[in-house]
Homo-oligomer: A and B are copies of this chain.
Amino acid sequence: MRPQRGEEVRPQRGEEVTSPKTREDVVRAAGRLFAERGYHGTSMRDLGQELGLLGSSLYSHIEGKDQLLLEVIRRGGAMFAALAEEVVATGGTAAEQLRRLVVGHVAIITEFLDESATFLEEGRFLPAEPRAELVELRDAYEDAYRAVLTTGARSHEFHNVDDPALTSTLILSMLNALVRWYRPSGRLSPEEIADGILALVMEGVS
């Protein structure tokens, strides 16, 4: 009665009425699993099961597994790019801009945890060509931090930025690590976390 090979879990039938899945559903579920198990740790059959269908059924919604990774990553990346653009366009003092970058970054990660984690952690598994797109996007984003820090150092708002490239890397390290430890049920709200990061970045511990 069972197929010769491929003991794939069948979708439930009966009781639960499930509507047809959209491409949107597939991309969102992919973000969830890529963030949780990693790209190489997620099979198309895993992804199908998450949605209540077979792995092979996904191919009517998407082109392939790596296209799916690319799409999740683009969604994550676009939000960070939009933040940097908005902050630079709005202007203000260097300290104000840095504050908006940090608050916005924390907001994006905490609200779109799966897409952010996939963008930040799984990008290296992209094929060479689209990976170049991602590297460009990340470099541009880091440039916003570097520019703000450089401006602030020149205007004497910041007295302790000897190496804006290093400082921006360190600030982004704190921010990006959020995808590793932030959980909505955790002790601290996104606002409290952003305040804590800003306190450390602005004043240090002593």
Judged by a CB distance under 8 angstroms, whether A132 is at the interface is no
Encode A163-206 as 1/0 by CB contact (under 8 A) with B.
Answer: 10011011011101100010000001000010011011111111
Judged by a CB distance under 8 angstroms, whether A81 is at the interface is no
Residue from B98, B157, B163, B181 within 8 A of A196 (CB atoms): B163
Contact-size category for A: 35 or more
13 contacts between A and B (CB under 8 A): A157-B206, A159-B206, A160-B200, A160-B205, A160-B206, A162-B196, A162-B199, A166-B193, A169-B177, A173-B174, A173-B176, A200-B200, A203-B206
Q: CA separation between A161 and B196, bound complex, in Å?
A: 9
CB-CB under 8 A from A196, the residues of chain B are 162-163, 166-167, 170
- Nearest CB in chain B to that of A161: its residue: B205
